Amino acid sequence: MQMQQANGLINKAKGRPPRTAGSLREAIIRRLLGAAAACSLLFLALIVIFLCLEGLPAFQHLPISEFFLGMDWYPTSEPAEFGIFPLIAGSAVVTLLASALAIPLGVMTAVWLTEIAPSSLRRICKPFIELLAAIPSVVIGLFGMVVIAPILQNYFGADTGLNLLNAGLMLAFMSVPTICSVSEDSLYAVPPALREASLALGATRWQTTWRVVLPAAFSGIGTACMLGMSRSIGETMVVLMVAGGAGIIPISIFDPVRPMPAAIAAEIAEAPFQGEHYYVLFAIGIVLFAFTMLFNIIAQHITENNKRVAD
């Protein structure tokens, strides 16, 4: 999905068709289509409005500092404690671990696809990467539960196989295709003339790739990483199923964690409607939304800067 998103980002400048005589019918059609296009704007606005509507009341009684920096997540004890710091830490650590695995893997695969693989092999391999992106998250979660967890428990001495490492591995799995296809697009966009010039100067193919192609595609790869991280931090089913669900700040990679999406998914169904717990869970939704927005805006910023440079 993010591949198309990035394609959208790279809006090729192109000529417009000539304006035809403005009959009423044309004007109406134009307006209707405009209204359809405005729907996306409307939906995004509705998402923000409803998140805020249900999330902001949490701060009537709960100081914001306590919400963000509180160390204890005991949403139903008396008195309840809503410190989401362990949840943010869980999300951050899982995302970082997944990215540390997925970014090298994704970018390297993209480089292989564009720079090295013969075109026949590329045509066979590329669909595989795309299919990897298509595996439903719940199936990957199941795989983590029934295959990876026992392995971590039995062979790596983890107290529980449902932990940070397992979640990081499974998330890496899911973000590799995103990172790979967006990087690939940006590597393709590097003009062949640059490669030819470098090779003509006597550089090897690796030197050309490392010193010329990668720097030229750097911003696109940056976008890819951001989109990959955005996908990791927002992914729900995998962390719900394999992260273990303990609201602690992890010290070892075998510690269980409770990332934000898992907390929302596990608790929202049981939180009393429009009670404090419910509001706080929506507030976590706002935090999550803000994080992914941030990653997306950085990604768009990188792309736009790059466009300006290219122009």
Partner 1 sequence: MLKRLLFVCMFCLLGSGAFAQAAAAEEVIVSGSTTVLPVMQVAGEAFMAANPDVTLSISGGGSGNGIKALNEGLCAVAMSSRDIKESELAEGKANGINATRFAIAVDALLPIVNPENPIRDLSAQQLRDIYSGKISNWKELGGKDENIVVISRDTSSGTYETWAELIMKGEKIQARALLQTSNGAVSQIVSTNSKAIGYIGLGYLNDSIVALTMEGKVGNAETALNKSWPLSRELYVFTNGEPKDGVKKLIDYLLDPRKGQKAVLESGYVPISK
Partner 2 sequence: MSGTTLNSSGLNTFEAKHSRSGKRMLTEKVMFMLLRLAAVVNIAALLIVVGFIFWNGLPALSWEFLTEPPRKAMTAGGIWPCIVGTALLALGSLMVAFPLGVASAVYLNEYAGRSPFTRYIRLAVNNLAGVPSIVFGLFGMSFFVIYCGLGISLLSGVLTLAVLILPMIISTSEEALRQVPRSYREASFALGAAQSQTIARVVLPAALPGMLTGAILSLARAAGETAVIMFTAVVYFSTSTLDSPLSPVMALPNHIYVLATSGTDIAKTLPMQYSASLVLLFLVLGMNIVAIIVRDRLQKNRAR
Residue 137 binds partner 2 (CB under 8 A): yes
- Measure the CA–CA gap between 207 and 198, rounded to whole angstroms: 9
- What is the residue-wise DSSP string for 206-265? HHIIIIIIHHHTHHHHHHHHHHHHHHHHH--HHHHHHSB---S--SSTTS-B--HHHHHH
Pair of tokens at residue 260: 């934000």
- What is the residue-wise DSSP string for 56-102? GGGGGTS-HHHHHH---EETTSSS-EE--HHHHHHHHHHHHHHHHHH
Which residue(s) pair with 73 in the sheet? 82
* Contacting residue, 124, 134, 200, 269, with partner 1 by CB under 8 A: 269
Tell me which residues in 168-227 interact with partner 1 (CB under 8 A). none
Count of residues near partner 2 by CB under 8 A: 114
* Contacting residue, 28, 29, 39, 147, with partner 1 by CB under 8 A: 39
Which of partner 1, partner 2, none binds 127 (CB below 5-8 Å, type-dependent)? Answer: partner 2
Report helix angle 218-234 to 260-267, nearest 10: 30
Residue 70 binds partner 1 (CB under 8 A): no
Unique residue bearing structure tokens 């805006």: 297
Interacting stretch for partner 2, rule CB under 8 A, among 70-78, 79-87, 110-118, 250-258? 110-118
CB of residue 85 to partner 2, shortest distance in Å = 19
* Contacting residue, 125, 216, 248, 253, with partner 2 by CB under 8 A: 125
Task: Output 252 or 274, the one with its CB closest to partner 2.
Answer: 274
Which of partner 2, partner 1, none binds 246 (CB below 5-8 Å, type-dependent)? Answer: partner 1
Amino acid identity of 243?
Answer: A
Residue 142 binds partner 1 (CB under 8 A): no
Residues within the interface to partner 1 (CB under 8 A): 31, 34-35, 38-39, 42, 72-77, 86, 149-150, 153, 159-162, 240, 244-248, 256, 258, 266-267, 269-273, 277
